[in-house]
């Protein structure tokens, strides 16, 4: 098979790449290959599917007509094995595909730590990073009538999974290696708030701990033992310690990688006709101005669109974005942006406000907002994201940042035209 444009991955980065290409080239052949068995789905919604709040038919973010209207050849259940960069060929489990331009948008794969007694063949052990995993987990929960579960990992994936399982009245034991939940995005105050909400729902949280052993009977999980010595009987374990960029097929291809695939401001790799976007790509962090992995939906969408435009001969620049995370636990919404936990307070200024039901934190560096946390009340958080994005000096109105009525109208007129609320975040 041959094509002008080849896209590996059919999530938001790949779909946005299609839109970028078609904004310039309406006729060039586009082939999309995906390892999944579904046309597309909104990954942030898998916890709502697990909870039974939405159906499978509501998961798609683009209809089947999208592919027809854009003349896309979509091939599912395809695993990328390697790339022959000299001959512009992708080697897959179903055959080879020659290309002129290639986008790697393969996303990430779940990290499964080395745990004594673990086997992928043991029933009742799941990960939670894809829709297919969520479907298997939901089916198992319902068929086995699960009433308690262990989640290894108290980050965003673990909490989103907990959100879904709580709707099934399942008691959750959450095991987290660090000293707090959501340690990469929340400070201790916000994390303690979330932990309290979980405990009120009957959850048990084990911090500074991990799973040391998994026990099974008749090829089904029966118990886990923590490093602390605590033993928990369970028929369900969800491993949610994180994801790693899916770059296994890039090895020995000459494509430069660090943690992910390195890209420039045009989303181009070190090989001129190969691009990368989404969770697999290391692009510019707007705050640190360094290359980093920012595995979130809005970043993947923007990077994919930029890549598509440039693959089709246009000229678009990725100016960088910053970490943004959103989660809702037991009805409590939380959003964080940028740098939220800092150790060297000499270089940062911290503003905080809490009334027991809500929490707001602003992190400043040289009178510019570089991070923020909103818990319980998030309606105006987009304004702060705009201040970060546009790197606005807030010295003139810093005293108003924590006020309940802070908004665009409080900003001096000269700043208002610069504030643009960024891409939406699905919670």
Check residue 425 and give its pLDDT. Answer: 38
Residue 331 pLDDT exceeds 90 = no
Residue 330's pLDDT is 78
With a CB cutoff of 8 Å and minimum separation 6, the contacts of 409 are none
pLDDT of 423 > 50? The answer is no
pLDDT band at 415 (very low <50, low <70, confident <90, very high): low
Where helices occur in 208-351 by DSSP H, the ranges are: 297-311
Contact 54, 48 (CB under 8 A): yes
66-98 pLDDT, tens digit each? 999 999 999 999 999 999 999 999 999 999 999
Neighbours of 173 (CB within 10 A): 20
CB of 21 within 8 A of CB of 28? yes
User: Identical fold at 125-241 and 331-416?
Assistant: no
Q: Where are the domains of the chain?
A: 2-42+60-109+244-311, 125-241, 331-416
pLDDT at residue 427 is higher than 60: no
How is residue 398 written in tokens? 């810093």
Contact 322, 353 (CB under 8 A): no
Q: Which helix (H) or strand (E) holds 109?
A: strand 108-110
CATH class of the domain at 2-42+60-109+244-311: alpha beta
In tens, the pLDDT along 28-60 reads: 999 999 999 988 999 989 999 999 999 999 999
Q: Residue 106 phi/psi, 5° resolution?
A: -80, -5
222-227 average pLDDT score: 98
Write out the H or E segment, with its range, that includes residue 156: helix 156-166
Instruction: Give the chain's end-to-end CA distance (angstroms, integer).
Output: 39
Q: Please give the C-alpha separations between residue 209 and each of 90, 193, 244, in angstroms, as whole numbers.
A: 42, 20, 21
pTM of the predicted model, to two decimals?
A: 0.91
Is a pLDDT exceeding 50 seen at residue 283? yes
Query: At 419, is the pLDDT very low, low, confident or very high (cuts 50, 70, 90)?
Result: low
The residues facing 83 across adjacent strands are: 90
- Region 171-190: mean pLDDT is 94
Q: CA torsion 372→376→378→379, rounded to 10°?
A: -150
Predicted confidence (pLDDT) per residue in 120-151, tens digit: 999 999 999 999 999 999 999 999 999 999 99
What would the pLDDT profile of 376-394 be if each residue is shown by its tens digit? 999 888 889 889 988 889 9
pLDDT for residue 380: 83
Q: Answer yes or no: is pLDDT of 328 > 90.
A: no
What's the chain's average pLDDT? 92
Using pLDDT thresholds of 50, 70 and 90, give the confidence band for residue 343. Answer: low
Q: Which CATH class is domain 125-241?
A: alpha beta
Q: Domain spanning 331-416: which superfamily?
A: FAD/NAD-linked reductase, C-terminal dimerisation domain (3.30.390.30)
For residue 180, list its beta bridge partners: none
Cα–Cα distance measured from residue 92 to residue 82, given in angstroms and rounded to the nearest whole number: 7
Residue 404: per-residue pLDDT: 83
């Amino acid at each position: 098979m041959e094509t002008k444009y080849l896209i590996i991955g059919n999530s938001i980065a790949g779909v946005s790449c299609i839109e970028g290409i078609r904004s310039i080239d309406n006729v060039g052949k586009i082939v999309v290959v995906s390892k999944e068995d579904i046309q597309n789905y909104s990954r942030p919604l898998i916890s709502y599917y697990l909870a039974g709040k939405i159906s499978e038919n509501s998961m798609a973010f683009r209809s089947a007509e999208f592919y027809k209207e854009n003349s896309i050849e979509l091939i599912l259940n395809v695993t990328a094995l390697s790339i022959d960069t000299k001959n512009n060929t992708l080697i897959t489990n179903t055959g080879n595909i020659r290309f002129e331009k290639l986008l790697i948008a393969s996303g990430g794969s779940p990290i499964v730590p080395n745990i004594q007694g673990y086997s992928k063949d043991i029933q009742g052990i799941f990960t939670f990073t894809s829709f297919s995993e969520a479907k298997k987990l939901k089916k198992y929960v319902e068929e086995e009538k699960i009433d308690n579960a262990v989640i290894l990992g108290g980050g965003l994936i673990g909490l989103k999974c907990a959100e879904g399982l709580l709707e099934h009245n399942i008691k959750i034991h959450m095991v987290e290696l660090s000293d707090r939940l959501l340690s990469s995005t929340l400070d201790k105050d916000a994390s303690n708030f979330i932990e309290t909400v979980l405990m009120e729902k009957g959850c048990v949280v084990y911090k500074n701990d991990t799973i040391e052993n998994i026990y099974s009977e008749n090829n089904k999980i029966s118990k886990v033992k923590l490093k602390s010595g605590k033993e928990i009987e369970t028929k369900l374990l969800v491993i949610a310690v994180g994801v790693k960029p899916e770059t296994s097929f890039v090895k020995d291809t000459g494509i430069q990688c660090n943690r992910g695939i390195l890209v420039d401001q045009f989303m181009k790799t070190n090989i001129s006709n190969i691009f990368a976007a989404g969770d697999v790509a290391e692009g510019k962090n707007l705050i640190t101005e360094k290359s980093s992995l920012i595995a979130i939906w809005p970043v993947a969408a923007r990077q994919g669109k930029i890549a598509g435009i440039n693959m089709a001969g246009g000229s678009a620049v990725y100016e960088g974005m910053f970490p943004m995370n959103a989660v809702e636990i037991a009805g409590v919404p939380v959003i964080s942006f940028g740098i939220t936990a800092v150790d060297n307070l000499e270089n940062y200024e911290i503003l905080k406000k809490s009334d027991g039901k809500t929490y707001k934190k602003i992190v400043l560096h040289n009178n510019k907002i570089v991070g923020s946390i909103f818990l319980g009340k998030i309606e105006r958080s987009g304004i702060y994201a705009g201040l970060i994005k546009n790197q606005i000096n807030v010295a003139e109105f810093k005293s108003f940042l924590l006020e309940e009525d802070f908004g665009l109208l409080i900003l001096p007129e000269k700043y208002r035209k610069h504030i643009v609320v960024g891409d939406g975040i699905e919670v």
